[in-house]
Amino acid sequence: MTHWQEALLILGMMIVTFGVRYPVLALSGRLPMPAWLIKALRYVPVAVLSAITVPMMLAPQGEMQLSLHNEYLVAGIASIVFVAVTRHLLWTIVSGMALFLALRFFL
């Protein structure tokens, strides 16, 4: 694939993504949304984040790894516990990354 083809592919993906999302965002402020929809939309960020992170934690190389040798899983569970106790997002990220890097490079 040439550079021009790659650029056109990226431009096409950008147009499709923008074309699908923009009308919804443009109309969302103008049309009244039912309370049940607004309540349901609150769960979208959590669902998307879970869909991205959980498979990576449970199967980092494509196969399920439920062991203490899986640094993604250990650091992820530790981060979940840390944020549940402290409710501090920045320190959760810092401590989770520090634990992950320590497990990855020192053990």
Model pTM above 0.85: no
Q: What confidence score (pLDDT) does residue 72 get?
A: 95
Q: What confidence score (pLDDT) does residue 80 get?
A: 95
Q: What confidence score (pLDDT) does residue 96 get?
A: 96
Q: What confidence score (pLDDT) does residue 67 get?
A: 93
Please list, in sequence order, all residues whose beta carbon lies within 8 angstroms of the beta carbon of residue 66, skipping any fewer than 6 positions away.
58, 73
Q: What confidence score (pLDDT) does residue 107 get?
A: 78
Q: What confidence score (pLDDT) does residue 24 get?
A: 79
Quote the crossing angle between the two packed helices 71-86 and 44-58, to the nearest 10°. 140
- Residues of the chain short of pLDDT 70, as ranges, are none
Please list, in sequence order, all residues whose beta carbon lies within 8 angstroms of the beta carbon of residue 95, skipping any fewer than 6 positions away.
78, 79, 82
Q: What confidence score (pLDDT) does residue 66 get?
A: 94
